[in-house]
Chain A
Amino acid sequence: DAGVIQSPRHEVTEMGQEVTLRCKPISGHNSLFWYRQTMMRGLELLIYFNNNVPIDDSGMPEDRFSAKMPNASFSTLKIQPSEPRDSAVYFCASSWGHNEQFFGPGTRLTVL
């Protein structure tokens, strides 16, 4: 199995631009999670989906952030408009049932 796939691995953009991060979970997994990691705040859960349905988005910072999961093999996290404080590493993870979460390699986002 290829594991969780995220793209792009690095993204540099200017303030105000739209950013879209992509994730392909492990085939057969029914839960998908988006995390953000910064030095100041550590690892934060932004949103998670179960069977493609958003279950808990209480970690989404504000309306500039949105996430979708149109099917079991694809999810996006969009930031519009982006701000410098959004600079972080964004991780996607997937799991099946109550088993462990498998993390992708992350997308390092820099907003100038």
Chain B
Amino acid sequence: AQSVTQPDIHITVSEGASLELRCNYSYGATPYLFWYVQSPGQGLQLLLKYFSGDTLVQGIKGFEAEFKRSQSSFNLRKPSVHWSDAAEYFCAVGGTGGYNKLIFGAGTRLAVHP
């Protein structure tokens, strides 16, 4: 069955520190992979996506993610976190066939200390 695992429920980092949010997926075919961010009281906003090609993808707000097929992972990174990055982050996987249904992870809540 298709699934997405985000092992870390909460992460706290200091402003200016680097960040890595983990995402592992289970999918039987070539996946489409996404990272979304949700600020309090807001909807989900797309940070970046991977469909094919270069396994290191750049997104908005200085985020990047790397697709590693051998590890079934799609970890999100940022070299220097800003206080405004405090939010909840969701990893999602979709398929290349059929309709665009996404499977979301449970989310990782990021807190940023000044």
Contacts and interface: CB of A to CB of B under 8 A. Distances in A.
B100 A56 contact: no
B102 A106 contact: no
Nearest to B48: A100
**Taking chain A's interface residues, is the majority helix, strand, or loop, or is none over half, making it mixed?**
strand
Interface residues of A, number: 23
A56 B95 CA distance: 15
A57 to B, nearest CB: 12
Nearest to B46: A100
Contacts of A103: 36, 43-45
Interface residues of B, number: 21
Interface of B: 32, 34, 36, 42-46, 49, 51, 90, 94-96, 99-102, 104, 106-107
27 contacts: A31-B100, A42-B106, A42-B107, A43-B104, A43-B107, A55-B99, A91-B43, A91-B44, A95-B100, A97-B100, A98-B51, A98-B94, A99-B100, A100-B34, A100-B46, A100-B49, A101-B100, A101-B102, A102-B46, A103-B36, A103-B43, A103-B44, A103-B45, A104-B43, A105-B42, A105-B43, A106-B42
